[in-house]
Amino acid sequence: MRKFLVVLDDTPECQNAMRYAAMRAARTAGGVVVLATISAEEIQHGIGVADLMRAEAEERITSQYNIFAKWMRDKQSVEPELIIREGDPAQQLVTHIAEDPQIGVIVLGASSGKGGPGPLVTRLTRDIGTLPCPLTLVPGDISKDRLEEIT
Protein backbone atom coordinates (compact mmCIF):
# COMPACT_ATOMS: atom_id res chain seq x y z
CA MET A 1 0.00 0.00 0.00
CA ARG A 2 1.29 3.43 -0.93
CA LYS A 3 1.41 5.87 1.99
CA PHE A 4 1.17 9.63 1.97
CA LEU A 5 3.55 11.18 4.52
CA VAL A 6 2.29 14.46 5.91
CA VAL A 7 3.97 16.65 8.51
CA LEU A 8 2.04 17.72 11.60
CA ASP A 9 3.14 21.07 13.01
CA ASP A 10 1.69 24.26 14.43
CA THR A 11 1.36 26.08 11.11
CA PRO A 12 -2.03 27.05 9.65
CA GLU A 13 -1.20 25.40 6.31
CA CYS A 14 -0.81 22.04 8.04
CA GLN A 15 -4.60 21.62 8.01
CA ASN A 16 -4.79 21.73 4.21
CA ALA A 17 -1.89 19.30 3.88
CA MET A 18 -3.68 16.88 6.22
CA ARG A 19 -6.90 17.18 4.25
CA TYR A 20 -5.16 16.65 0.93
CA ALA A 21 -3.22 13.60 2.15
CA ALA A 22 -6.35 11.99 3.60
CA MET A 23 -8.48 12.68 0.52
CA ARG A 24 -5.81 11.33 -1.84
CA ALA A 25 -5.31 8.26 0.33
CA ALA A 26 -9.06 7.61 0.44
CA ARG A 27 -9.40 7.90 -3.34
CA THR A 28 -6.37 5.73 -4.10
CA ALA A 29 -6.70 3.03 -1.39
CA GLY A 30 -3.58 4.39 0.27
CA GLY A 31 -2.59 5.17 3.82
CA VAL A 32 -1.54 8.27 5.72
CA VAL A 33 1.49 8.59 7.96
CA VAL A 34 1.51 11.71 10.11
CA LEU A 35 5.02 12.74 11.13
CA ALA A 36 5.57 15.12 14.02
CA THR A 37 8.94 16.17 15.35
CA ILE A 38 10.08 17.46 18.69
CA SER A 39 12.96 19.85 18.21
CA ALA A 40 16.05 19.66 20.35
CA GLU A 41 15.34 23.19 21.61
CA GLU A 42 12.10 21.96 23.16
CA ILE A 43 13.93 19.49 25.43
CA GLN A 44 17.42 20.95 26.07
CA HIS A 45 17.44 20.95 29.84
CA GLY A 46 18.47 18.68 32.68
CA ILE A 47 17.44 15.02 32.39
CA GLY A 48 14.38 15.22 34.66
CA VAL A 49 13.18 18.46 33.08
CA ALA A 50 13.90 17.16 29.57
CA ASP A 51 11.75 14.09 30.21
CA LEU A 52 8.89 16.27 31.42
CA MET A 53 9.23 18.62 28.42
CA ARG A 54 9.34 15.64 26.04
CA ALA A 55 6.18 14.21 27.62
CA GLU A 56 4.41 17.58 27.34
CA ALA A 57 5.43 17.92 23.68
CA GLU A 58 4.21 14.39 22.94
CA GLU A 59 0.90 15.13 24.69
CA ARG A 60 0.44 18.33 22.64
CA ILE A 61 1.25 16.48 19.41
CA THR A 62 -1.07 13.59 20.23
CA SER A 63 -3.91 15.96 21.08
CA GLN A 64 -3.48 17.82 17.78
CA TYR A 65 -3.14 14.53 15.88
CA ASN A 66 -6.34 13.13 17.41
CA ILE A 67 -8.35 15.98 15.89
CA PHE A 68 -7.03 15.25 12.40
CA ALA A 69 -7.24 11.48 12.89
CA LYS A 70 -10.91 11.64 13.88
CA TRP A 71 -11.71 13.65 10.75
CA MET A 72 -9.72 11.22 8.57
CA ARG A 73 -11.55 8.23 10.04
CA ASP A 74 -15.03 9.78 10.04
CA LYS A 75 -14.96 11.66 6.73
CA GLN A 76 -12.42 9.78 4.61
CA SER A 77 -12.41 6.26 6.11
CA VAL A 78 -8.64 6.46 6.46
CA GLU A 79 -6.83 5.18 9.55
CA PRO A 80 -3.74 7.37 9.95
CA GLU A 81 -0.54 6.38 11.70
CA LEU A 82 1.29 8.81 14.01
CA ILE A 83 5.08 8.88 14.14
CA ILE A 84 6.82 11.18 16.64
CA ARG A 85 10.54 11.72 16.20
CA GLU A 86 13.08 14.02 17.83
CA GLY A 87 15.40 16.33 15.94
CA ASP A 88 15.46 18.46 12.83
CA PRO A 89 12.12 18.10 10.94
CA ALA A 90 13.67 17.80 7.46
CA GLN A 91 16.26 15.27 8.58
CA GLN A 92 13.67 13.23 10.48
CA LEU A 93 11.39 13.24 7.44
CA VAL A 94 14.16 11.96 5.16
CA THR A 95 15.19 9.36 7.75
CA HIS A 96 11.63 8.11 8.14
CA ILE A 97 11.18 7.79 4.38
CA ALA A 98 14.35 5.70 4.22
CA GLU A 99 12.96 3.43 6.95
CA ASP A 100 9.48 2.98 5.41
CA PRO A 101 9.58 1.86 1.78
CA GLN A 102 5.79 2.22 1.48
CA ILE A 103 6.03 6.02 1.63
CA GLY A 104 5.12 7.07 -1.90
CA VAL A 105 4.36 10.78 -1.59
CA ILE A 106 5.40 13.56 0.79
CA VAL A 107 2.64 16.12 1.38
CA LEU A 108 3.53 19.53 2.83
CA GLY A 109 1.49 22.67 3.35
CA ALA A 110 3.03 25.81 1.88
CA SER A 111 2.50 29.10 3.65
CA SER A 112 0.96 31.91 1.64
CA GLY A 113 2.51 34.57 3.88
CA LYS A 114 5.23 37.08 3.08
CA GLY A 115 7.89 34.91 4.71
CA GLY A 116 7.78 32.33 1.93
CA PRO A 117 6.46 28.79 1.90
CA GLY A 118 8.06 27.84 5.23
CA PRO A 119 11.44 26.48 6.32
CA LEU A 120 10.64 22.81 5.74
CA VAL A 121 9.24 23.42 2.25
CA THR A 122 12.20 25.65 1.37
CA ARG A 123 14.72 23.09 2.54
CA LEU A 124 13.09 20.10 0.83
CA THR A 125 12.53 21.88 -2.47
CA ARG A 126 16.20 22.86 -2.47
CA ASP A 127 17.10 19.16 -2.25
CA ILE A 128 14.14 17.78 -4.23
CA GLY A 129 16.36 15.93 -6.68
CA THR A 130 17.64 13.68 -3.91
CA LEU A 131 14.26 12.75 -2.42
CA PRO A 132 13.21 9.12 -2.98
CA CYS A 133 9.60 10.01 -3.76
CA PRO A 134 7.48 12.90 -5.09
CA LEU A 135 6.82 15.99 -3.02
CA THR A 136 3.34 17.52 -3.16
CA LEU A 137 2.95 21.12 -1.96
CA VAL A 138 -0.52 22.19 -0.90
CA PRO A 139 -1.18 25.94 -0.83
CA GLY A 140 -2.01 27.12 2.66
CA ASP A 141 -4.92 29.26 1.53
CA ILE A 142 -6.60 26.79 -0.86
CA SER A 143 -10.28 26.19 -0.09
CA LYS A 144 -11.78 22.89 1.07
CA ASP A 145 -13.97 22.87 -2.04
CA ARG A 146 -10.96 23.24 -4.32
CA LEU A 147 -9.12 20.47 -2.46
CA GLU A 148 -12.08 18.16 -3.03
CA GLU A 149 -12.13 19.07 -6.72
CA ILE A 150 -8.47 18.24 -7.29
CA THR A 151 -8.20 15.09 -5.21
- Helical H runs in 1-151? 14-28, 47-76, 89-99, 119-126, 144-150
3-state helix, strand, coil in the chain (%, to 5): 50, 20, 25
Contact 103, 133 (CB under 8 A): yes
* pLDDT confidence of residue 40: 76
Other residues' Cβ atoms within 10 Å of the Cβ of residue 119: 13
Question: What strands lie across the sheet with 103-110, from one edge to the other?
Answer: 81-86, 31-38, 3-7, 103-110, 135-139
Q: Hey, what amino acid is at 10?
A: D
pLDDT along the chain (151 residues), means of 10: 95 94 97 94 67 89 97 97 95 94 97 88 90 94 93 89
- What is the bridge-based pairing of β-strands 103-110 and 3-7? parallel
Question: In whole angstroms, what is the distance from residue 135 CA to residue 24 CA?
Answer: 14
Q: Give CA torsion, residues 15, 16, 22, 23, to 10 deg.
A: 150
β-strand partners of 107: 6, 136
Question: In whole angstroms, what is the distance from residue 138 CA to residue 17 CA?
Answer: 6
Contact 124, 90 (CB under 8 A): yes
